Structure 1
Amino acid sequence: MPMVLRIEKSRLPSRTALLEASAAAAVAVCLDPRSAQDGEWFPEVSAWVSGRIRKVSRRARGSHWEAVQALPGVTITVDDASVRALVPSLVSETPKEVARLQISGSELPFDTPGPVPDGARVLYLNPRVEMTAGKAAAQVGHASMLLAPHLSEAELAAWAALDYRCAVRTPSPAEWDEMLRRDHVVAVRDAGFTEVEPGTVTVLTLG
């Protein structure tokens, strides 16, 4: 799944908002009616979730950002940050509008997030693991997807009404360790292709 992060030179988005938009966009593609069994996106999404779920974050600005809006996917905007998650495809079939975008250079300064919005699902980043914004965007996108099957139909409907609003926060190491011991915790374990060691738990959320 290509995830395109809008990072304009003249106006950098806040890191937290970008991660929250990434998490919402990824799950929005998977739960979109077009991804259902009779939908136009079903073959691609079904094949993807049945195999190794991988995401690649790329950055775009200006005309390149506008170009990817024409590709199948969902754009989510949170505060000053926008992300478009695209329908998954084979690497060999990556659209030229996406292939030309840079994977590196997505780092953003850390910020202090405000209160968790009402109805948002909270995703917790591992406080002991350093990740670029691009890497973290892919990880929280994976977390929101893993969380969805743990929610009831009513909970999913309420979440959808809020455009799958997520809040991304970083707990203290002690809080993280306590969450790891809880029941019904949803954990993202990274395959270790980039930045972190294989098997590293990067994100937690409570199902």
Structure 2
Amino acid sequence: MGAGRARPSRPAPTLGCMTAEPTALSAGERPSGPEEIPWAMQLVVLRDKHAMAREVDVCEAAARAVVGLLDDERCAPGGPWYAAVRRWVDGGRIRKLVRRADGKRWDDVQALPGVLVTQDGPDGFGPARVRALPPGPVRPLPRALAKLQVSGTSFPPERVSSSADALAIVEATPLERITSGKLAAQCAHAAQRLYETADEARRASWRADGFRVEVRWPGPDEWAARPRPVSIVDAGFTELDGPAETARALWRSEP
């Protein structure tokens, strides 16, 4: 689903699982050193055709799952995920791949280490369920992951969030056509960068709120007129035709 570049507005603090240094690489650039096999954080989303989740809920659940994983004590120094997250972040990219699963394939993924977020939808829609896994090389993959598809993941394009009181806001571009899977990755990139630039008091408040986010789609005029503290630029190697800003993030308390 590509990787992201952020432009935070304040110095980056030291986190439990990483030192949050904003990367200077664009969304698809390679780090300067050779790396034979790229690393990525894998996200698996439940796609139940009998109870489809809304696109907005999938994007919000993906953002929550990623931030929840990075905040997890297993990412702290000495924890079992610390080295993997450290390598992923230090590589200069925050690549994420969103895969879809249902039925037994979804059940099989639950045996893998990670963080699961379930976000209920309104009447008429199923819950959004996303499992974020610790970063690792994109190949070889555990069998439960390798058989899951990445491209073409779509959900009903319902875009009215039920999280209008969330502390964090992610804005999705109104200028590009993006599949639900890629959009979920871009929203997760933005939420990750917002977490990295937050001080401990802000992170503690967000943690107490379950890392909820409100995903919005501003109109083109608002998008052009109001830059945000965090901005994600995708390099355009997959769905987009060239580099494009895909998502932004801010705190609700910010103007």
Q: Taking structure 2 as the reference length, what is the TM-score of the superposition?
A: 0.76
CA distance, structure 1, for counterparts of residue 249 and residue 164 of structure 2 = 16
**1:13 aligned partner:** 53
Is the CA contact (8 Å cut-off) linking 1:190 and 1:197 kept in structure 2? no
Paired with 1:198 and 1:32, the residues of 2 have a C-alpha distance of 35
Percent sequence identity over matched residues?
40
- Pairing 1:135-150 to 2, within 5 Å after superposition: 135-150=182-197
State the alpha-carbon separation in 1 of the partners of residues 159 and 166 from structure 2: 20
Q: 8 Å contact 2:163–2:212 — kept in the other structure?
A: no
Stretches (4+) displaced over 2 A: 114-120
Aligned length in residues: 204
User: Could you say what secondary structure the match of 2:136 adopts?
Assistant: coil
Q: Distance in 2 between matches of 1:174 and 1:153?
A: 34
Distance 2:226 2:141 in 1: 38
What is the Cα deviation at residue 189 of structure 1?
A: 0.8
> What is aligned with 2:108?
67
Task: Tell me which residue corresponds to 1:99.
Answer: 146
- The answer for unaligned runs of 5 or more in structure 2 is 1-40, 121-126
For residues 114 and 8 of structure 1, the distance between their equivalents in structure 2, rounded to whole angstroms, comes to 20
Contact 2:45 2:101 in 1 (8 A): yes
CA deviation vs aligned residue, 1:62-95 (integer Å, no higher than 9, x gap): 1111111111110111111110011111112321
What secondary structure is seen at the aligned counterpart in 2 of 1:83?
strand
> Please, which moves more after superposition, 97-106 or 114-123?
114-123
2:128 pairs with 53, 56, 81, which one?
81
Q: Which residue of structure 2 aligns with residue 199 of structure 1? A: 243
Per-residue CA shift, 1:35-69, capped at 9, x if unaligned? 11121101111101111221111100111111111
Q: Which amino acid aligns with 1:8?
A: D
1:55 matched to 2:55? The reply is no
Pick which of 7-16 and 196-205 moved more. Answer: 196-205
